[in-house]
Structure 1
C-alpha cells in the first residue's frame, strides 16, 4: 500500500470543501429567478473570491507543504484518469516537474476536484473517513 505524505484529515477537508465549492451558483445566471436584478446580486456574491467555501479551499491547499501539494496534484490526476494507480510514481514526478507554486489556482479551477481526489485515493486503495463539519 502507498504511504501518503498528506494527512488524511486534511485530504478529507479539501475533498469536502472542493465539493461545496463545486455546487456554488455561477456568477452569471440569467435564468436564476423571477427578479433578475435581485437574484443576480446573490449569484455574484455566491461565486466571488470572497466566497467562504472558496476561501477555505484555497487556504487549505496553500497550507500544505510543497510535497503535499505535489501529492495532491498527482492524486487529482490519477482520479481524473490522466494516470492509473500503477503509474503513481510517474504522476508524482510529473506533478513535481509542473509544480510552480500556483497549485491552488489550478486545483480550484478543476471541476469535480473533490471527486477526482477521492477517485485517486480509491484507485490507490486508500480510504478516508469523511470530513464532518462540527
Structure 2
C-alpha cells in the first residue's frame, strides 16, 4: 500500500487509535492494580469493594483476543516501536516480524506480558506524531 500523497505521510498502523487507546487504558489499569497489590495492604472490606471494579489482566487479554489479526499485529509492532526496537521508518519490517511472531496466535498473552505495555503503545504512537491522550473515549 502506497503512502498517501498529502503533506503528511501517514502510516497505516493496522489498528485504530481508539483501539490503541482502549488497550492503553486497560493495560494501565492492570498495571496500577498490580502495583497496588505490592503496596500497603488495605483492610479486607475496602479490598473487596475495589476488586469488583478492578480491571483484570483477563479483561485485557479478552479484549485483544477479540481484535482481528491485523489489529493484533499492529499493536505488537507499535509496542516494539515504543520500546525502541524499531524506528518509525522501519514500520514495514516491524509489521512483517510482528506478523511472524503472531503466527502462534498468542498476541494477547505476549502483549499482556510486556512490562509497561500502556507506556510502550503511547510512546510508539508518539513516534508517529500521534497522541493517545487526544483520543476520545
Sort the TM-score into its range (normalised by shorter chain). 0.7 to 0.9
1:131 is displaced (CA, Å) by 5.3
1:96 is displaced (CA, Å) by 0.9
2:105 corresponds to which of 101, 105, 123: 101
| TM-score of the superposed pair, with normalisation by structure 1 | 0.76
1:90 corresponds to which of 93, 101, 106: 93
User: Is 1:21 the equivalent of 2:30?
Assistant: yes
**Is residue 16–residue 131 contact of structure 1 (8 Å, CA) maintained in 2?**
no
In 2: Cα distance, 1:117 partner to 1:84 partner: 13
Unaligned runs of at least 5 residues, structure 1: none
User: Is 1:126 the equivalent of 2:134?
Assistant: no
Match of 1:111 in 2: 115
| TM-score of the superposed pair, with normalisation by structure 2 | 0.75
Unaligned runs of at least 5 residues, structure 2: 1-9
In 1: Cα distance, 2:56 partner to 2:135 partner: 17
RMSD: 2.6
1:32 corresponds to which of 40, 59, 71: 40
1:91 is displaced (CA, Å) by 0.6
1:65 is displaced (CA, Å) by 0.5
Match of 2:57 in 1: 54
